[in-house]
Amino acid sequence: GFFGACFGPSGSAILAHSYLGGFHLWYRDEDDWRPAVVVGGHFDAVTDLAWERTHGRYLLTVSTDQTTRLHAPWVQTDCGKEYSWHEIARPQIHGYHLVCLAMLPNFRFVSGADEKVVRAFTAPQNFLENFKRLCLKNMKDEESDDKPVSLPTGAAVPVLGLSNKAVFRNEPVSQPEERHVKDQYDESSYFTPQQFEEPPTEDNLLQNTLWPETMKLYGHGYEIFSLATTSDGKLLASACKATNEEHAAILLWDTTTWQKLDRLVYHKLTVTQLQFSPNDQYLLSVSRDRCWSVFERSESEMNKYSLVARSNKSIGVHKRIIWCCAWTHDSAHFVTGSRDGKVVVWDKIEYFHPTLGHFAGCSEYLDLPKESITSVACGADFYLSTDDEYLMAVGSEAGDIRLYGWTNLQRPWRFLFQLSGNSAHHLTVKRLAFRPVLGIAGQDEDSASNQTELILQLASCGLDHTVKICDLYIK
């Protein structure tokens, strides 16, 4: 239902807000009131986000409002190809708070919530058609080679259910006149294929933009807390809340067969973040036990990882919970950030340390003693200068986002810029992610190639219910 509404100044528009935090806008068209495009977003803390892996054409976010939302630039050809960001689909509406997600190729993703199950989703045919129409993207590429006949039309959630059921429909299905009361409304009756010429309204987002659930993964003893996938999407790593070594184990899954491949054990408490290196050679994990670990892929078995480096409380730089981690784009370094305000870059070394393996902390770490570091991210495939300077973003519990250049020199950290206040977040920054390619999402290749400056987009989300995308102009 609606909580309130008001007329526009001229009386030709009505704006209302509803129970689930959504806005509804109607404009008067002669004798009719027609729905219009309106701003939207999450109405509770946003806990994780991820760009589409290869092209960065859309952004997925999950929240404790129990929804997964897909945001993308809507390109308007009648306005000179101007674009604006909107919620294009709501792939998952769940019954538990959503905590994490990870992207897979071919318009697929996996998500984790305050439950023991990891759920996998695939985009239906109706979404692919609407996405192409609204965002002007060429869907006939290596990431969308599924045949249309093999894809469901859409998805719907049964009454009292939590799983999105696939709906296959070639023709409208008429409702039988006589039917048992419990079977009176089947899943297909909740979904109606849509042909959007503009971003969907709140009603359509709730009912007609769900993605079918393709698999449930069982194996964890407590609520899922972190997920990560390899760059090719063939492996998935998952971890759950834990208070001992048994439940803090990381599980590896094959995303083709959805079989459990391995169980990686080192941490004693909850693994707070997982990330594969861009070359998929390493899996990095950080934990509430103030330690990090690195698992290396076996040369003989491609899907086998083993522990090769780890920190402990005596030799580790961090003295508080390690909240976040990230790899540089060339897989040469990884970064860790913790509650004690330290950001440490770790480098590969030639000699072998009994505990740290072939890794060691670089010359100087970044120390922000009055901050709690909650998220870090490394820039896409480029360097800031000829000295192999990496671009790094650091998010804090206070909501600020700082940008640094880092080189493996005597004075490695170079402060570049700080986003704060309305430009950043007012509460904890939960996740930072650079778009995987240079340029602006929604901009065609011709206009992007004419840019004299490099432009990189940085997405962030936080406990203040917001998702923000910043354009960074790099000279």
Q: How many residues does the chain have?
A: 475
Predicted local confidence at residue 163, as pLDDT: 86
pLDDT of residue 445: 55
Task: Identify the three-state secondary structure at position 100.
Answer: strand
What is the residue-averaged pLDDT of the chain? 87
* pLDDT at site 231: 94
Identify the band that residue 303 occupies on the pLDDT scale cut at 50, 70 and 90.
Answer: confident
More confident residue, 365 or 313: 365
Q: Which pLDDT tens digit goes with each residue over 413-429? A: 999 999 988 899 999 99
Q: What is the pLDDT of residue 327?
A: 96
* Residue range 323-367, pLDDT digits in tens: 999 999 999 999 999 999 999 999 888 778 878 888 888 878 999
113 class by beta-carbon count within 10 Å (0-12 exposed, 13-18 middle, 19+ buried): buried
Q: How far apart are CA 262 and CA 337, in angstroms?
A: 27
User: Which is more confidently placed, 357 or 218?
Assistant: 218
Instruction: Provide the pLDDT for residue 158.
Output: 79
Answer for the pair 426, 399: CB distance below 8 angstroms, yes or no: yes
Residue 448 has φ and ψ, to the nearest 5°, of: -65, -35
Per-position DSSP letters for 54-67, written without gaps between them? TT---EEEEETTSE
CATH architecture of 45-138+151-167+191-474: 7 Propeller (2.130)
Give the per-residue pLDDT at 192. 85
In three state form, how does the secondary structure of 176-245 look? CCCCCHHHCCCHHHHCCCCCCCCCCCHHHHHHCCCCCEEEEECCCCCCEEEEEECCCCCEEEEEECCCCC
Predicted local confidence at residue 380, as pLDDT: 84
If phi over 0 gives left and psi between -120 and 50 gives alpha, with beta otherwise, what is residue 136? left
pLDDT, residue 138, reads: 43
439 vs 170: which has the higher pLDDT: 439
Q: Residue 448: pLDDT above 90?
A: no
Inform me whether the pLDDT recorded for 235 exceeds 60: yes
Whether 57 shows a pLDDT value over 50: the answer reads yes
Note the pLDDT of residue 156.
Answer: 87
Confidence of residue 447 (pLDDT cuts 50, 70, 90): low
Confidence at 188, pLDDT banded by 50, 70, 90: low
Give yes or no for a contact between 189 and 155, defined as CB atoms under 8 angstroms apart.
no
Q: Using CA atoms, how far apart are residues 121 and 108, in angstroms rounded to an integer?
A: 6
Contact 93, 206 (CB under 8 A): yes
- The pLDDT score that the predictor gives to residue 129 is 92
Q: So what's the pLDDT on residue 409? A: 77
Cα 62–chain centre separation: 7
